[in-house]
Chains A and B, each alone.
Chain A
Amino acid sequence: MNCGGSAPRDYKAKVAGSRVLGDGSCLLAVECGSIASAAEPGQFVMVRPGTCGDPFLGRPLAVASASGEIFKIVYRVVGRGTELLASKRQGDSLVVRGPIGRGFFSARNALPLPKKVILAGGSVGAAPLLFAVRRLGVNSIADVVMGVSGKGWEGFSEWLRESFPGVSLFSDDGTIGMKGTVLDGLPADLPPDTEIWACGPEGMLRAVAAKYPADGARIRVALESRMACGMGGCLGCVIPTASGNRRVCVDGPVFTAEEVLWNDISN
């Protein structure tokens, strides 16, 4: 069952600003006080770029920050829906469902925060981690490790550096930051009272989980899945876990790496 707070609602929202970060990645600021005030890091929204039934479904996009009346999302243009989204300008209207799911904090079920959190993000998976670092507060130290594929991601990487001062940045081809992947920026062993919060492509999350097979309970992953409804109804987004199929949208999207049956995920 959904323990992440209230069931989402649909809102008519306005685009407060749109910025191309470069290379097909964009930042969108949306004016919707109800979502901005309720959202927590790791939660997401379903943004409907069209109003005439096509594209039909909302796009699940993680909240990257929320303040006052405004929340922001960061996304990569990958298809018709995100192309339409990228064409939105300040003042345009959007239909948004949210906030959805259990985030990095509510998924803890009141477990105290660790002393240190390593935030590990792959490409636009950085978005919810940016929100998380701002909400962690002074009692937890955060290290930030990010990975991009390389050439073509300069603009996005610039935004990463602005957003996360002190970020350790890796690229597959070595053209941005250090050559390597997020995995290279993680410690060989997970120190005590430390957790990893990760968001990015499934392959990356799977690799992070595999790096620390004994510490899966201290690794929290924000998963992505194809989904239709964003309210827990369609069961289109389920992933296999130790306690059976669970819905990425409202039972997640944040799970511990230990819960997820990585070998049973089939796409």
Chain B
Amino acid sequence: MTSRTDLPVSVGSLELESPVIIASGVWPYEAELWSAERLEGVGALCTKAVSLKGRTGNKGVRVWETPCGMLNSIGLQNAGVHAFLNDYLPIVRNARRPFLVNLVMESEREVRESICALREVPGIPALELNISCPNVDGDGMAWGISPGSTAHAVRIARSEWSGALWVKLTPQSPDLAEVAKAAEEEGADALVCGNTWLGMAMDIKKKRLAFQRGVAGLSGPAVFPLALRTVWQVCGAVKIPVVGCGGVSSWEDAAAMILAGATAVEVGSALFTDFDLPRKIAAGLSDYLAEQKIDSISGLSGLGRQ
């Protein structure tokens, strides 16, 4: 971990040594990858999405490269909350960093049951409530589209979970500022803005849509300007910390999101092409702060709004 004193940042009650967070859905549970040596520059990690029961995910093509990005339709494949706690939580703890369990917003009953299971285990620092996955029917993104359903989802999670609660928003909401306010009013501690962008691919050889569900989530550098705009919008709407997520693939991207008002950033697809990216972002930000004569990341946050 870096010994720099300018990078530590607080996101609500979570103290991170760096503002670079590994986004949900990208980091496997291979134990070696959760060692300090492989996580240089990483302030926190989000687990892959966890649901009450295991899910096999979507059939057919799951990933599709696009210009400067990719589409995915994984469909929340995971072993379920109990298998997560038994098999993977010990590996996650080895990272010796704050982590967030990314919890799929399913039905009210399922989410309450999942949180009960997570609550039984001491030392889980935070939940990232996923109301934004575009790759499943009924759950995920369906909750995050409107302020009303967002409020409902956050109210349920908040009533069961007293630890840090982050809510991961979807850029597909036509009313993102109101969605963000609804999550804040229901007690979210921070907002993650946001998840992948709904897209599509046509397989011109097969003359049909590439993905069996038709739609899929777009990520990668291609979405960065879109994500930056939503971060700007959400930061202007709420007082709780906002974590920028979407297409971040360099320290300059991270700096831009933080200048727009983000407290920290999540990095996802860019890790598919560079394991060392968190270290590079952290180092780049630190050099930038020194050059700009700014003491800390929190001093940088929102400066671009003036």
Contact = CB atoms under 8 A, between A and B. Distances in A.
Contact of B273 (A57, A238, A244): A57
Interface string B260-302: 0000000001011111100000000000000000000000000
A102 interface: no
A139 interface: no
A266 B249 contact: no
B161 interface: no
Among the interface residues B28, B30, B33, B269, which one has the most CB atoms of the partner chain A within 10 A?
B28
A159 interface: no
Contacts of B30: 1-2, 7, 231-232, 250
Nearest to A264: B59
Interface in A209-233: 226-233
A266 B74 contact: no
Nearest to B277: A10
Interface in A184-208: none
A245 B32 contact: no
A236 B26 contact: no
A48 interface: yes
B272 A234 contact: yes
Given A10-B275, A10-B276, A266-B212, A226 B64 contact: yes
Contacts of B56: 244-245
B225 interface: no
A234 B63 contact: yes
Interface in B74-108: 74, 77
B108 to A, nearest CB: 27
Given A57-B272, A233-B27, A238-B77, A226 B68 contact: no
Nearest to A97: B275
Among the interface residues A58, A227, A233, which one has the most CB atoms of the partner chain B within 10 A?
A233
Contacts of B60: 266-267
Contact of B77 (A54, A56, A228, A235): A235
B268 to A, nearest CB: 9
A257 to B, nearest CB: 21
Interface string A54-98: 111110000000000000000000000000000000000001010
A19 interface: no
Contact of B221 (A53, A237, A250): A53
A57 B272 CA distance: 7
B58 to A, nearest CB: 10
Contacts of A226: 61-64
A9 interface: yes
A100 B38 CA distance: 16
Interface residues of A, number: 33
A227 B272 CA distance: 10
A210 B274 CA distance: 39
Interface string B181-225: 000000000000000000000000000000010000000110000
A53 B77 contact: no
B5 interface: no
A163 interface: no
A85 B198 CA distance: 30
Contacts of A37: none
Contacts of B29: 1
A58 B273 contact: yes
A233 B63 CA distance: 12
B72 interface: yes
B15 interface: no
Given A228-B63, A250-B30, A56 B275 contact: no
A54 to B, nearest CB: 5
A6 interface: yes
Contact of A56 (B27, B28, B65): B65
B32 A56 contact: no
A250 B28 contact: yes
A143 to B, nearest CB: 34
B61 A267 contact: yes
A100 to B, nearest CB: 11
A55 B62 contact: no
A264 to B, nearest CB: 8
Given A53-B221, A237-B63, A244-B56, 15 more contacts: A54-B68, A55-B65, A56-B66, A56-B269, A57-B70, A57-B272, A228-B63, A229-B26, A231-B28, A233-B25, A233-B27, A234-B25, A234-B62, A238-B77, A267-B60
Interface of B: 25-30, 32-33, 38, 48, 56-57, 59-70, 72, 74, 77, 212, 220-221, 249, 269, 271-276
13 contacts: A6-B32, A55-B65, A56-B269, A58-B272, A97-B275, A226-B64, A232-B28, A233-B26, A235-B48, A237-B63, A238-B77, A244-B56, A266-B59
